């Protein structure tokens, strides 16, 4: 749970579900981002806790994209938009992407096709 927060465990879980849903439904859900972050501040989530959850969900987006062994142009657009909303440096995002792609390639035994 977010240390120092006034939120309950339930509040934290619900916020994380909203985060996942918003990132998963990008770009259509982009207008909901401001409300999500406003709620996080109202619940007094610590910035480090928020950043950790955002990075977890960003990695989850990548895992979903590579699960089909193809990263499409749309996947790249969604990942780039998510990265920008989160405020993640491009180099860090690429590092996470390449690490997860390597895991997927080792698991599937074939390269992940990158259509970018």
Divide the 116 residues of the chain into consecutive groups of 10 and give the mean pLDDT of each group.
71 96 98 97 92 97 94 96 98 97 95 90
Number of domains in the chain: 1
Does residue 59 lie in a domain region?
yes
In a domain, 3, yes or no: no
Instruction: Output the pLDDT for position 6.
Output: 77
Q: Is residue 1 a part of any domain in this protein?
A: no
Q: Is residue 97 part of a domain?
A: yes
How far apart CA 14 and CA 99 sit, in angstroms, is 29
Determine the structural domain holding residue 58 and report its residue range.
9-114
Would residue 2 count as lying in a domain? no
86 is a domain residue? yes
Question: Could you count the other beta carbons within 10 Å of the beta carbon of residue 46?
Answer: 13
CA distance 90 to 109: 28
This prediction's pTM: 0.91
Identify the CA nearest to 21 among candidates 80, 70, 61. Answer: 61
Token pair of 34, please? 């401001």
Confirm whether 101 is domain-assigned: yes
What pLDDT does residue 100 have?
Answer: 97
Cα-based torsion angle of the residue sequence 68, 98, 51, 27 in order, rounded to the nearest 10 degrees: -50
Residue 18 lies in a domain: yes
């Amino acid at each position: 749970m977010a240390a120092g927060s006034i939120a309950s465990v339930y509040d934290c879980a619900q916020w994380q579900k909203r985060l996942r849903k918003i990132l998963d439904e990008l770009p259509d859900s982009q207008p909901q981002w401001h409300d999500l972050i406003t709620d996080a501040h109202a619940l007094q989530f610590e910035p480090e806790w928020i950043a950790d959850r955002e990075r977890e969900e960003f990695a989850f987006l990548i895992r979903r994209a590579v699960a089909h062994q193809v990263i499409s142009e749309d996947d790249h657009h969604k990942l780039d938009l998510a990265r920008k909303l989160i405020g993640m440096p491009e180099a860090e995002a690429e590092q996470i992407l390449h690490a997860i792609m390597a895991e997927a390639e080792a698991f599937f035994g074939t390269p992940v096709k990158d259509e970018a």
